[in-house]
Structure 1
Amino acid sequence: MVQSTMVQTTMVQSTMVQSTMVQSTASQPPQSPPSTPRFGVNYTPSSGWFHHWLDFDLDAVRADLDSIAALGMDHVRVFPLWPVFQPNRTLIRPAAVEQLVAVADAAGERGLDVNVDGLQGHLSSFDFQPAWIHSWHRRNMFTDPDVVGAEAEYLRTLASALADRPNFIGMTLGNETNQFSGDPHPDPDRITPAQAAAWLDRLLEACEQGAPGKFHLHCSYDAAWYLDDHPFTPAHAARYGAATAIHSWVFNGTQQRYGTDSAAVAHHAEYMIELSKAWSADPRRPVWLQEVGAPQPHVPADKAADFTRATVANALDCPDLWGITWWCSHDVSKDLADFPELEYSLGLLTNDREPKPAGLELAKIVGEIRGQWAPPAPRSVGLVLDLPEEVTARATCGPGGGFYEAFMHLLEEGARPTAVLAGLAGDKNHLTARGITEVLAVEDVWS
């Protein structure tokens, strides 16, 4: 049996932590999660992958969007390629921007809202950065004033072009741009956490200038949560922008360590959602499960539907979930070379736009949820994460870490835990705001 113990924290510690838990100056006005969670897909064109911008075919895009809408999805996340849209620091191609608007309009005609990632950035193991920050023009994408100014103008331009579209959700700064800032990237742009914060502030403000009041945010891959000394921190993820974006991939060591049929695999997305709440200054901050998928061979094809149902069900049991956006819509064609093998089969649909088992399962879940949604109850058990506010060491949160394994053990025993920083574990106001009535230290889980 798991025994609960109240973890005592001095009022001084609690006050110090609360004083630092401030929102970014570029954060959006407080927003609540939707009454019913959103369901969507990351749009990967069935023909040409993201290279389709080079040979843009709106009819092909419309056919892709038809197949997505047929699954019952309500939104897509769209990825312009940065070098195609801004090939020179002072040139943002009008024709490319018009094509992006055409995609948004085509989505709207099919009842699909659109979120746009700007700085592409990194996609499926390939980096897409313009020539004006490489080799002879090598400059840090996070700190060089000319580069950051150009990035801001690019994001402002895209946001402005879409601002009047009723189906435009908002901008995501770029896809997992944190991977350019540190290891294991082969040629990172080194920065400090303070420089990362300044970059986020500047670019989120640019999105807000272009499309005021929209749902603008940023996203990181899980190094921000799990990798010691990574310059993008959990606090950046949980306090900057309109929502916290979670990218949950079980090939990050979770499946390798615990096995496909483990609780850790089935609950990984849920875990990351609840882990993020430890750093949030707003107890009702929306959390968007912006990327999650069933990668082979970590999730075999014959288990993809079961993985999909378990992952979605567990994520939906998290309060304040904005929505779930599956990676991805269509498979990558085998005609394209050099992708990691798992990338070719992640689609909910084939290249011929036929639904696969995971796609059919997700469509079934969406049909079940809509019209009979009841928000989950608050998670009353808070597992204490004994890390400082300005966290540098965070391996305890990743696969094999002490906090990670304690959280998974609680889930296996039927509990519904969430995470709370040690500095707030004795703050009654904070706990009450989150619905936490019981606080556990990691060591209590095993007693």
Structure 2
Amino acid sequence: MPSAVRFGVNYTPSEGWFHHWLDFDLDSVRADLDSIAALGLDHVRVFPLWPYFQPNRSLIRPRAVEQLGALVDAAGERGLDVNVDGLQGHLSSFDFLPAWTRTWHRRNLFTDPDVIEGQADLLRTLAAALAGRPNFLGMTLGNEVNQFSAGPHPDPDRATAEEIDTWLTRMLAACEEGAPGKLHLHAEYDATWYQDDQPFTPAQAARHGAVTAVHSWVFNGTAQRHGRVSAPTEHHAAYLIELSKAWAADPHRPVWLQEVGAPAPLIPAEHAAAFTEATVEHALDCPDLFGITWWCSHDVSRDLADFPELEYGLGLLTNDRKPKDAAYVLARAARDQAAAPSAPATRTTALAVPADPSVRSRCAPGGDVFEAFFRLTADGARPTTVLDSHAADAHHLAARGITEVVTSDQVLPTPQGGTRS
């Protein structure tokens, strides 16, 4: 029997947002978790803010670690497993980096030996503190840490792909040292798949860690180009899941849709439930899906200033813990999946994608690979992807069940008056 796809949420505390670690109130956390568990979800992803947990390179605050343990225990009491982000440096447009890495102590997050050791110490400490708890799933290194490594960040910590590879290996090893055998992974925003000069590469995303994580946000040009009701917008999460498989060494490597949400105004509040339903339906049609973790649990309070407008309304629940229509959609999908786990058929048609990461923008919205994938999708082909370097590899194709490989030139119409370049 197939395993049920996991359903959960990224936990955004209803009181104080992630600043709740400064005034930690376990009763408030318990009430939040009650409202999540009532939806029938099975896990949460939580975010200990790095400067609050490690304000000095040699100080990991014991009280903060105890509070994280209390949160994990409270989740377990409600039947919720927990994934923990470790180096929690970026959330909802705000950077959270400790003072010992910035300004007068400016050091590269990915290459400085002292910073690397400090990061490894924090990851190992958090993992070890939680290792004995049965509902602790494992560590994610941090939330979209690749945004620190290149533009459009205003002050990036530049690194080469080789240096990032070394950093990922070291950080994941620290997690394993702290909690052997748990599900440890890393997670980046979609520049990894779409941005030519990103040092975090698709191959790293698909080969480091226990599962591949994808974060799907349609404000990346998808909804702007194609509208809120379109194959690209409603299948964007499924596209990233299938795109990741081109670089995976394991033909059945699990993929975790670790972040996906309905951002206004591109997805208006009155359409959020329909968008949620379509996104989940199409993601569940992807083989080897590990889980779907919605962004996010609770709305950001209007008492908090300076968030981008869309951040205030992304919750499945209101700031006073009332479910929205999208919450009921996700709850129903979780219930149906638990009762009858999905077993989607193999995707036998593969679209060739460039193995060269310096041209990965071809896979981004507006690129020929992106547009060809959704032309196939609109035609009902259920495509996956394969690296162009594997397109003629019979053994690789057979291992993945692929029987047909097509290129974007074959799928897209030739522009009038000339040939495609």
- 1:411 aligns to what? 377
- 1:378 aligns to what? 346
Q: Give the whole-Å Cα distance in 2 for the aligned partners of 1:365 and 1:315.
A: 11
TM-score normalised to the size of structure 2? 0.97
Q: Give the whole-Å Cα distance in 1 for the aligned partners of 2:354 and 2:202.
A: 14
- 2:236 aligns to what? 268
Q: Give the whole-Å Cα distance in 1 for the aligned partners of 2:111 and 2:341.
A: 45
Structure 1 gap ranges (5+): 1-32
Matching residue's letter, 1:433: A
SS at match of 1:288: strand
- Is the contact made by 2:4 and 2:340 (CA closer than 8 Å) also made in structure 1? no
- 2:64 aligns to what? 96
- 2:406 aligns to what? 440
- 1:135 aligns to what? 103
What whole-Å deviation, never above 9, does each CA across 1:307-353 have from its counterpart, x for those lacking one? 00000000000000000000000000000000000000000000110
SS at match of 2:8: strand
- 1:402 aligns to what? 368
SS at match of 1:242: coil
Matching residue's letter, 1:446: L
- Is the contact made by 2:284 and 2:342 (CA closer than 8 Å) also made in structure 1? no
Q: Give the whole-Å Cα distance in 2 for the aligned partners of 1:363 and 1:342.
A: 23
Matching residue's letter, 1:404: F
- Is the contact made by 2:349 and 2:404 (CA closer than 8 Å) also made in structure 1? yes
Q: Give the whole-Å Cα distance in 2 for the aligned partners of 1:219 and 1:446.
A: 32
Matched, 1:428 2:366: no
- 1:299 aligns to what? 267
What whole-Å deviation, never above 9, does each CA across 1:158-196 have from its counterpart, x for those lacking one? 000000000000000000000000000000000000000
Q: Give the whole-Å Cα distance in 2 for the aligned partners of 1:400 and 1:435.
A: 28
SS at match of 2:306: coil
Q: Give the whole-Å Cα distance in 1 for the aligned partners of 2:83 and 2:219.
A: 25
- 2:419 aligns to what? none
Q: CA RMSD in A?
A: 1.0
- 1:282 aligns to what? 250
Matched, 1:333 2:295: no
Matching residue's letter, 2:384: T
Shift of 1:134: 0.7
Bigger mean CA offset, 84-93 vs 359-368: 359-368
**134, 159, 180: which one aligns with 2:148:** 180
What whole-Å deviation, never above 9, does each CA across 1:102-146 have from its counterpart, x for those lacking one? 000000000000000001110000000000011110000100000
| Identity within the alignment, % | 69
Q: Greater RCO between the two (CA within 8 Å, min separation 6)?
A: 1
**199, 220, 236: which one aligns with 1:252:** 220
Q: Give the whole-Å Cα distance in 1 for the aligned partners of 2:220 and 2:37.
A: 30
Matching residue's letter, 2:269: A
Q: Give the whole-Å Cα distance in 2 for the aligned partners of 1:144 and 1:321.
A: 36
Q: Give the whole-Å Cα distance in 2 for the aligned partners of 1:150 and 1:34.
A: 41
- 1:212 aligns to what? 180
Matching residue's letter, 1:307: F
Q: Give the whole-Å Cα distance in 2 for the aligned partners of 1:50 and 1:374.
A: 34
Structure 2 gap ranges (5+): 414-421
TM-score normalised to the size of structure 1? 0.91
Shift of 1:34: 7.3
- Is the contact made by 1:34 and 1:322 (CA closer than 8 Å) also made in structure 2? no
